[in-house]
Structure 1
Amino acid sequence: FSLLINPQLLKMLATTAARRLFLNAYSRNLFSSQLCRSVHQSIPSRSDIQMNEVPLSVGKLKEETNLSTRFNRTAEVIVSKIFPAGFGWQSASVVADKMSMEADTLGFALTTGFGDALGVFVGHTAYFAAKKRLSDSNINMVQQAQVGFLLSSAAMCSGTVWQPIVNVLQGIDLSFNAVFMGTWFGCGTAFYAGLRAGRTFLSSLEYIEEPTYKNSKDDASLSVAIGGATGFFVGTDAAYLPDQNFLLSIVGIADETPALLGSTIAGTSTALGFATTQSFFNVAYPAGKCWVD
């Protein structure tokens, strides 16, 4: 019994027990740290998710939203202005014909230009009045009337020069494609000039922005799209080089076509031309750089 309580023996036993406890604790701690490292490597941290996954998904969503917004606004412009412009021009040409105006006279050009402008103004204001009543009560109709007047003044310019440009280009026996492109360029330029002049003379109105470098770029790209609408409108002339007219079967207007149907086809041609051109812009332009943004 005296051996069992020997101090040296007790000290040795205590030392051995302490070593075992230390080794066990160390082993458990080592396993725990390895497990933590394994879990950390296999499961991404919250910061990893925030830095890697969220920005990518948000960026993709933003890009898709921007593109869909562009096409929605393009459709809105077509319905409210581009189709009415073609419809108005063709309807005015019927009126001019009944008034015995020849297609090569100033009276015919001014009458059709006015019909184009009237279509834009009435279409724009009527569309936004209906939208205000049906879905968005915050629409400011004074603002829309002023914007409609600005756009219709530019449409007056492009609509007035359309027939004279076509007459000149067809008169020198150019191919259909040459007349198509020449009209696109000429009417697009006229629309741009009218838009810039309108900003200059109408900037005293509350909602008309004066000419700036920024809106000059927006006006230019819009004018190119308008030029596309006027170029496709050339396709309504079923008499000029029908074998070259690639739009004849789609928007050709023959002499025997009823007036109302002819105006509808004319509006369809301008809508098709604008949609084709603007769709390219919607896809090609970076976010925030296109006039429709």
Structure 2
Amino acid sequence: MMSFSSATRALISSTRHLPTLNGRQMSSMATPPPSDKKKSNIREIHSEGPKLDFAAPSPMYIPETKSVSSSIESSPMLEQFKVTAEVTVSKIFPAGFAWQSSSILADQFLGCAPDTVGFALTTGAGDALGVFAGHCAYFFAKKQVLDADGSDGKASIDMEKEIQTGVLLGSAAFFSGTAWQPLVNALQGMDLPFYQVFGGTWVGCATAFYFGLRTARTVLSGPLKHVHYPSFENSRTDKSLSLAIGGATGFFVGTDTAYLPAENFLIGAVGIHEGMSAGTGCVLAGTSTSLGFLAAQTTLNTIYPSGRLWNDGK
């Protein structure tokens, strides 16, 4: 019979040999390495690109847009040109006509030379009066002719609003009308070519009109409920209107037949020559501003995206 210590040593001895035996058993029971065929399949799976033949094409995203009507009446650009024509008739032609009339008043009746402050202020006031009177008269006549009082379900013409709009635009026209003669005098005094006088007057009077428009908004938005206070949104539209007004003032330079007539490409159309009647000269002045405004605004209507101009959504 084995002693306790002998039994213990035997047990320890058998335990020492067990890992070796188990190690051999585990090695024999491990998962065999993949066959060459399986390895080949694995390589093929990783080397091949996505099988697009069985993939459905993803739909292309097209932003939702309004359907364009075939009727030209719904065209935004048509509406722009309609408003452009209305403004030309109601404000731009009267402005040029009135400026020329007031220049005659300043020169022949008030004794103001073209290089005086009195002449500039008189013509500026005439320009402003022409815009205000032309705007109000046009919309009053339109209201009567179209019976636009809202009783037929169509948009009504609010004369209170139109009068206040006339005050706003007339105030801005005072700035550009006052600046025109001193600016032309300065540019011509530098003996610049005609096209530079033309371009400089365009930019200078456009800037003056914009400054006048922003100033008028600031002053008039308090007492006049239909005049909006200066904001980023109306700043953008005011700029585009001022740019078009600048075109009107630039073309007005063409009425001066005394300065570099050979370079004046507008002289044949709107030149006011010596010996012409005062009435003819005023009509030609209004025609020149109308042509300039139409040329400038037509370009803006064509190149600007919809919704960015002053005449969108009127």
Amino acid of the structure 2 residue aligned with 1:228: G
For residues 167-218 of structure 1, the C-alpha deviation after alignment (integer angstroms, 9 at most, x for no partner) is 0000110000000000001100000000000000001111000000010010
Query: Matched residues in 2 for 1:121 and 1:256: separation?
Result: 30
Unaligned 5+ residue runs, structure 1?
1-51
1:202 corresponds to = 220
Is 1:108 equivalent to 2:119 in the alignment?
yes
2:191 corresponds to = 173
1:67 corresponds to = 77
Deviation of 1:289 after TM superposition, in Å, equals 1.4
SS in 1 for 2:68: helix
Deviation of 1:61 after TM superposition, in Å, equals 5.2
2:92 corresponds to = 82
Query: Matched residues in 1 for 2:72 and 2:304: separation?
Result: 15
Percent identity, aligned pairs only, is: 57
Query: Matched residues in 2 for 1:139 and 1:227: separation?
Result: 28
Query: Matched residues in 2 for 1:270 and 1:144: separation?
Result: 22
2:266 corresponds to = 247
Query: Matched residues in 2 for 1:62 and 1:133: separation?
Result: 26
Query: Matched residues in 2 for 1:229 and 1:202: separation?
Result: 25
Unaligned 5+ residue runs, structure 2?
1-61, 150-155
Match of 2:284 among 232, 249, 265: 265
For residues 69-108 of structure 1, the C-alpha deviation after alignment (integer angstroms, 9 at most, x for no partner) is 1101000000000000000000000111112210000000
Is 1:145 equivalent to 2:163 in the alignment?
yes
Deviation of 1:290 after TM superposition, in Å, equals 1.3
SS in 1 for 2:295: helix
Is 1:275 equivalent to 2:280 in the alignment?
no
2:106 corresponds to = 96
Q: TM-score, normalised by structure 2?
A: 0.74
Q: Is contact 2:198-2:251 (8 Å) kept? A: yes
For residues 107-152 of structure 1, the C-alpha deviation after alignment (integer angstroms, 9 at most, x for no partner) is 0000000110000000000000000111122211110000000000
Query: Matched residues in 1 for 2:120 and 2:275: separation?
Result: 22
Change (3 A) 1:56 1:160: closer
Amino acid of the structure 2 residue aligned with 1:189: T
Query: Matched residues in 1 for 2:74 and 2:264: separation?
Result: 36
Query: Matched residues in 2 for 1:58 and 1:115: separation?
Result: 44
For residues 250-277 of structure 1, the C-alpha deviation after alignment (integer angstroms, 9 at most, x for no partner) is 0000121100110000000000000000
Query: Matched residues in 1 for 2:143 and 2:66: separation?
Result: 37
1:192 corresponds to = 210
Query: Matched residues in 2 for 1:288 and 1:238: separation?
Result: 39
Q: How many correspondences in the alignment?
A: 240
- Larger mean CA deviation between 282-291 and 67-76 belongs to 282-291
Change (3 A) 1:132 1:64: closer
Query: Matched residues in 2 for 1:147 and 1:292: separation?
Result: 14
Change (3 A) 1:56 1:116: closer
Amino acid of the structure 1 residue aligned with 2:129: L
4+ long deviations beyond 2 Å: 55-64
For residues 9-48 of structure 1, the C-alpha deviation after alignment (integer angstroms, 9 at most, x for no partner) is xxxxxxxxxxxxxxxxxxxxxxxxxxxxxxxxxxxxxxxx
Query: Matched residues in 2 for 1:267 and 1:182: separation?
Result: 20
Amino acid of the structure 2 residue aligned with 1:224: L
Deviation of 1:156 after TM superposition, in Å, equals 0.2
Q: TM-score, normalised by structure 1?
A: 0.79
Is 1:125 equivalent to 2:125 in the alignment?
no
SS in 2 for 1:58: coil
Query: Matched residues in 2 for 1:224 and 1:56: separation?
Result: 30
For residues 227-261 of structure 1, the C-alpha deviation after alignment (integer angstroms, 9 at most, x for no partner) is 00000000000000000000000000012110011
1:237 corresponds to = 256
Is 1:256 equivalent to 2:256 in the alignment?
no
Query: Matched residues in 1 for 2:268 and 2:252: separation?
Result: 13
